[in-house]
Amino acid sequence: MSGGGTETPVGCEATPGGGDKKKDSLGTAGSPAHLIIKDLGEIHSRLLDHRPVIQGETRYFVKEFEEKRGLREMRVLENLKNMIHETNEHTLPKCREIMQDNLNQVLQRLQAASDSVCRLQQREQEQKKRESTSRG
């Protein structure tokens, strides 16, 4: 597992004939040392390898989220889409039409008020001219 030496894989022997004649220090595949290492590997994977547990929890969370919350979110989005469509198709044109009508009325009233103010100013100027000519 760790260390920098040369290790031969568990259950394997060094190449026979000619070269290094060392045998695996752990013995054959059915030896007690091999079984202990196998058990240690299983213990390690159950105690220290959390990937399967995390993957299972993640799958469960996603499933629950999609079932419970996902449908609600889809309904909310569908309602928003319908509301936006209704606003664009019906409410905005009505508002625009009402605003145009009201603005036209306001403009007409402002024009009438402006005309009235102009007439009042003309009358005042005429009255001032008469007063100035009658004094002089």
Q: Measured in whole angstroms, how far is the alpha carbon of residue 116 from the centre of its chain?
A: 59
Which tokens belong to 8?
Answer: 């031969």
Domain boundaries, the chain: 33-70
Query: Do residues 13 and 23 touch, judged by C-beta distance below 8 A?
Result: yes
Predicted model pTM: 0.37
Q: What is the pLDDT of residues 19-43, one digit of tens each?
A: 444 445 555 667 888 889 888 888 8
Which of residues 2 and 26 earns the better pLDDT score?
A: 26
